Structure 1
Amino acid sequence: MVLAAMVLVLEGEGTPEPLGLRGFFYTLLKEAFPEVHDQGENPFALGFGVWRGQPWARVSLLKEELYARLSPKLFGLEGQEVRLGRPYRVRAVLQEGHPWAGLTTYPRLFQGPGSPNLPLRFHTPTFFRRKGVQYPLPEPRLVLESLLRRLEAFGPLRAPEGVREGLLERTTVRFLEGRTRMARAEVDTVGFVGRVVYHLPRATEEEALWLTALGRFAFFSGLGAKTGLGYGLVRPYAEASPELEGP
């Protein structure tokens, strides 16, 4: 029941290219876990960016078996040359000690008190497949449906029907600050980047716990379409937290 976000700290020019990063990861995936392509939802998400002037690439794994098979290959890249659209040297492979690295379990997502407020920062363009087109607005139902679908595909729990209905039908937007940004990699569309605070009025204790857990899960899963290209990279934020340098 492990979820892991592993970061490759890179030496090289610029940030990885989305298609190059995906091609590199799919080569590793084909060797370690070829049957994963037979599944509907992808049990992984990719990301890239710059932190403290250092480019990085991120592989987030939502299944323990996938982590068990892929993590040795990823750790083995340290000191190696890789091509992620352009060449890099892998300076380090981290699952802690970097703002986009982390390790947890599905039960730990639900530890601690919940909150009726869910603040999310959208670091890379986020969009959703809606009625055959790409839709760039982070509406509460689209965001929470995306997270519920992926969590229930790979985690041990399903949201009780009453909780699901409350989350999807009553969650509103309390604060929104952002813009759209062009996304060009296999698709030509725009996605939302910025900050949103979602709010569930009259939330029960169980509803608040699920809302908070979904926010924690979003850090690992991403949300929306094309998370395998680095889109939909999001994380909860606190008003007092420092801004992170994005991709």
Structure 2
Amino acid sequence: MVLASLVLLLEGEAPPEPLGLRGFFYGLLKEVAPEVHDQGENPFSLGFGGKEGEYWARIALLREELYGRLSPRLFALEGQGVRLGKPFRVKAVLQEGHPWAGLTTYPRLFQAPPGPDLPLRFFSPTFFRRKGVHYPLPEPRLVLESLLRRLEGSASLPPPPGVREALLDRTTVRWFEGKTVRAEAEVETVGFVGRVVYHLPRATEEELAWLWALGRFAFYAGVGAKTSLGYGRARVILPSGAGGG
């Protein structure tokens, strides 16, 4: 029941390209886990960032068996050259010690919800497929439905009766601060970046546990559409000194 995010520290002259990173990762999948392409919701997400020659790419894996197959190949890339749209040298492969690296388990996602307010920050353009178009606003139902689908698809963890309805029907927005920005997918679109505090009023302890589990899961799974291109990269951001994230 392990989830992992591995970060490749890169030397190069420009950031990785979304299609290049996805193509590289799909090449690895074809070698070690070709069945993943036919399993519905992706059990992984990708991302990238950095500046001025110090770039990074991340590969987050939502299934323990996928982590077991892929992690040896990824760790072996240290010191090697890779092509992620452009050529890079892999300086290091990190499972900790980077803001976007990490390792946890599904049970740990459900531990110690701090309260009814879930603060999420969206770092890369986030959008949703809605009525045949890309929709760029992080409405509570869209965000939580996206995360529930991926949680159920990756770990077979459906919420208990009544909890899904509580999350989707009662969660509101307490705070919203962000903007829309251009996103280059296969077609040009627009996504949201910024901070949203979601609020679940009159919540039971079980409902809060699920709300926070979904928020923590977002770090690994991403939110919305095209997470295989680095979009929807999000995480819980707690105020300084707060616990439970």
Residue identity over aligned pairs, in percent, reads 74
Q: Which residue of structure 1 aligns with residue 158 of structure 2?
A: 158
Question: RMSD of the alignment, in Å?
Answer: 1.3
Q: Which residue of structure 1 aligns with residue 196 of structure 2?
A: 196
Residue deviations 1:13-65, cap 9 Å, x none?
22110000000100011001001111110000000001797210000000111
Q: Which amino acid aligns with 1:15?
A: P
Q: Which residue of structure 1 aligns with residue 32 of structure 2?
A: 32
For the residue of structure 2 that corresponds to 1:89, the secondary structure is strand
Q: Which residue of structure 1 aligns with residue 236 of structure 2?
A: 236
Measured at CA, do residues 240 and 53 of structure 1 come closer, stay the same or move farther in structure 2, by a change above 3 Å?
Answer: farther
Q: Does structure 2 conserve the Cα–Cα contact (< 8 Å) formed by 1:115 and 1:209? A: no
With the length of structure 2 as denominator, give the TM-score of the two structures.
0.95
Contiguous gaps of at least 5 residues in structure 2 = none
1:78 and 1:218 map into 2 onto residues whose CA distance is 27
Q: Does structure 2 conserve the Cα–Cα contact (< 8 Å) formed by 1:3 and 1:106? A: yes
With the length of structure 1 as denominator, give the TM-score of the two structures.
0.95
Q: How many residues align structurally? A: 241
2:180 and 2:17 map into 1 onto residues whose CA distance is 20
Q: Does structure 1 conserve the Cα–Cα contact (< 8 Å) formed by 2:12 and 2:53? A: no
1:140 aligns with 2:140: yes
Q: Does structure 1 conserve the Cα–Cα contact (< 8 Å) formed by 2:145 and 2:168? A: yes
**Aligned-pair CA distance for 1:114:** 4.6
Measured at CA, do residues 88 and 52 of structure 1 come closer, stay the same or move farther in structure 2, by a change above 3 Å?
Answer: closer
Q: Which amino acid aligns with 2:117?
A: N
Q: Does structure 2 conserve the Cα–Cα contact (< 8 Å) formed by 1:114 and 1:205? A: no
**Aligned-pair CA distance for 1:230:** 0.2
Q: Which residue of structure 1 aligns with residue 9 of structure 2?
A: 9
**Aligned-pair CA distance for 1:188:** 1.0
**Larger deviation: 53-62 or 209-218?**
53-62
Contiguous gaps of at least 5 residues in structure 1 = 242-247
Q: Name segments (4+ residues, structure 1) moved above 3 Å.
A: none
Residue deviations 1:166-207, cap 9 Å, x none?
100000000000001101131210000000000001111111
Q: Which residue of structure 2 aligns with residue 57 of structure 1?
A: 57
Residue deviations 1:55-101, cap 9 Å, x none?
10000000111000000000000000011111110000001000000
For the residue of structure 2 that corresponds to 1:161, the secondary structure is coil
Q: Which amino acid aligns with 2:47?
A: G
Q: Which residue of structure 2 aligns with residue 19 of structure 1?
A: 19
